[in-house]
Structure 1
């Protein structure tokens, strides 16, 4: 029962986090000259357009790992493909960190509110949802910055490395998902990601 209640609170902010993450990728790609995401209807705040059924189900079951439908990007439209792919990759985590700050502002505003005991019944779940919004967006932003393709951090790393080294890292992409699973299984990501989340939560006062 507690798991269901937690899911009900987390699901709306999770949808917001995923939607803005993918929308940011597509929007930056569009501004850099690639109309692919726009032509496929991905520049939208409709979360259904961004959800991957299997990735969503996996996230609900495991509460650790999941994925959205990747925004299509055609680097051939870019004036400088290597540099512009970096900006596209950065856009997703940047959107999540921005949302985390927005939720933190709402959190502090709600914390200072004076409400009656009757109103608290309705306000408290929203308060928990806002707090979860900070945590989920920090987690999504930090997780995606792990420098393993196909995560955004991996694409950023490929963009920053010299061509020869970038090619070697890019070759990891077909196996990246399995590497990430192994890191999760052995607790590697939790040992890095959770302390970072806690650090940023402390900075945001949440």
Structure 2
């Protein structure tokens, strides 16, 4: 009976462990709740540049998909989390990366239409960024894109067009990192 109980506990432990991923020391949860909506992990990966492992990015959705363009365009709840894994990521570098990301994600006409929202979003990175910081960027239809840092709400930016440009940074045709995009889309 004791062996059966231990086997059952071991099996339960295995099930729980497979519900999460660990990437570069970051535990990626199998689901998160944003504004009362539970979202499931679609996939996760590591953002690398040169020999630096910058952050772990994870994509959460309510309907799993491998189609980045469909997810970018969708007016559905979803979230991207970013866990900073290297001290080379600073607030100034984050601001520059966001600017560059929107340049790659949007046409010049699209970017011009949401430039004030982009500026507002960049303003969310006014505090120092350090290794271990956790950002959550969640889109909720009818509310907008909610941003938090280390579980502290920073602000909301309204509009589906802004969400499309922002999520296109990671999931669009010219993503910031192809391997990260693949990880987010392929589990």
Bin for the TM-score computed over the shorter chain: under 0.3
Structure with greater helix share of residues: 1
Structure with greater strand share of residues: 2
1 or 2 for the larger relative contact order (CA 8 Å, sep ≥6)? 2
